[in-house]
């Protein structure tokens, strides 16, 4: 809860994916390896971002996220 309050104070919007790679228009939402779920507000953000041509991946733990990021075709 304290982290959420700190994010709110910094102006971070709820549901926005955790990481952004601007050069690739790539967003990464991190979840635990097991049990992490995507909330409805996160689903809305993902739909919006994909709708404007960005790519969003959901990483289930570090290794899964790393593998998915490495699999993204990087722009030239």
Task: Report the DSSP beta bridge partners of residue 56.
Answer: 27
The span from the CA of 58 to the CA of 47, in Å, is 13
62: domain range?
15-70
> In this predicted structure, what is the pLDDT of residue 1?
60
Q: Provide mean pLDDT across the span 18-38.
A: 94
Pairing of strands 19-21, 26-31: antiparallel
Render pLDDT for 54-69 as a digit per residue (tens, 0 to 9). 999 999 999 999 999 9
Average pLDDT, the chain: 89
> In this predicted structure, what is the pLDDT of residue 39?
94
3 in any annotated domain:
no
64 in any annotated domain:
yes
4 in any annotated domain:
no
pTM above 0.85, yes or no: no
The span from the CA of 31 to the CA of 62, in Å, is 9
46 in any annotated domain:
yes
Q: How many domains does the chain have?
A: 1
1 in any annotated domain:
no
6 in any annotated domain:
no
25 in any annotated domain:
yes
The span from the CA of 38 to the CA of 58, in Å, is 9
Tokens, residue 44 = 């809305």
């Amino acid at each position: 809860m304290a982290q959420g309050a700190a994010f709110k104070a910094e102006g971070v919007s709820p549901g926005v994916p955790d990481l952004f790679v601007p050069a690739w228009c790539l967003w990464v939402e991190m979840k635990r390896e097991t049990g992490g779920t995507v909330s409805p507000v996160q689903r809305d953000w993902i739909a919006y971002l994909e709708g404007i041509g960005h790519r969003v991946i959901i990483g289930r733990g570090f290794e899964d996220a790393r593998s998915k990021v490495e699999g993204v075709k990087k722009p030239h």
